[in-house]
Chains A and B, each alone.
Chain A
Amino acid sequence: MMKYNRFKAEQEVLEAKLPSNIYRFMDMNTSRPYLVMAARTNRGNVYTLRIELDMFPDSIPQVFVNKMLYDCNNNPLDTPSSTMHTLNSKNGCTQICHYGSSSWTNRVSLYKVYIKCRLWLEMYEAHLSSGKPIDYYLKHQN
Chain B
Amino acid sequence: MIVYLSQEELDAFAIDRAESLLGYAYEWEGEGVVHLHTRSLTHAFGEISGCMFSKSAFCTDVVEDVRWLVFIDEGCIKVGLRVDGGIQYVGFQMIPSKENLYSRSKGILEIRVLQNKHVAIIGLGSFGSQIAIELSKSGVGEFSLVDFDRVELHNLARHTCFIKDLGRLKTDAIEEAVLGKNPYAKIHKYPLDISKNRMELETIVSHVDLVICATDNNPSRFVLSQALFDFQKIGIFGRAFTRAEGGDVFVYRPGQACYSCMVGNIGVAQEEITNEASARQNGVIPAYVSAQDADAMVQVGLSADIEPICNMMVKLALVELSKGEASGISCLEDELVYNYYLWANRRERKFTNWHVLPGAGPMPTIMRWYGAHISRREGCAICSDDEILLDIGDNLE
Q: Which A residues contact B (CB, under 8 angstroms)?
A: 1, 3, 5-6, 9-10, 13, 17, 55, 57-60, 79-82, 86-88, 97, 100-109, 111-112, 115-116, 119, 142
Q: Is the CB of B393 within 8 A of A115?
A: yes
A108 to B219: give the CA distance in the assembly, Å. 13
> In the complex, which residue of chain A has the Cβ closest to the Cβ of B259?
A106
Q: Which 10 A-B pairs have the closest CB atoms?
A: A80-B287, A112-B393, A80-B288, A109-B390, A59-B219, A58-B222, A101-B283, A82-B288, A9-B388, A107-B391
A101 to B282: give the CA distance in the assembly, Å. 8
> In the complex, which residue of chain B has the Cβ closest to the Cβ of A104?
B218
Task: Report how many residues on chain B are interfacial, defined by Cβ distance under 8 Å.
Answer: 34
Say what secondary structure dominates the interface of chain B: loop
Q: Which B residues contact A (CB, under 8 angstroms)?
A: 195, 198, 217-220, 222-223, 226, 260, 263-264, 268, 270-271, 282-284, 286-289, 379-382, 387-393, 396
Q: Is the CB of B286 within 8 A of A112?
A: no
- Given the complex, which residues of B lie within 8 Å of A102, measured CB to CB? 268, 270-271, 284
* A55-B219, A82-B288, A101-B284 known; A107-B389 Cβ under 8 A: yes
- Given the complex, which residues of B lie within 8 Å of A10, measured CB to CB? 390
- Given the complex, which residues of A lie within 8 Å of B217, measured CB to CB? 101
Q: Is the CB of A59 within 8 A of B195?
A: yes
* Pairs across A and B, CB under 8 Å, 13 listed: A9-B388, A13-B392, A80-B287, A101-B217, A101-B283, A102-B270, A104-B268, A105-B260, A105-B263, A108-B390, A108-B391, A112-B391, A119-B396
* A102-B270, A107-B381 known; A81-B219 Cβ under 8 A: no
- Given the complex, which residues of A lie within 8 Å of B390, measured CB to CB? 9-10, 13, 107-109, 111-112
Q: How far is the CB of A40 from the nearest CB of chain B, in Å?
A: 18
Q: Is the CB of B396 within 8 A of A58?
A: no
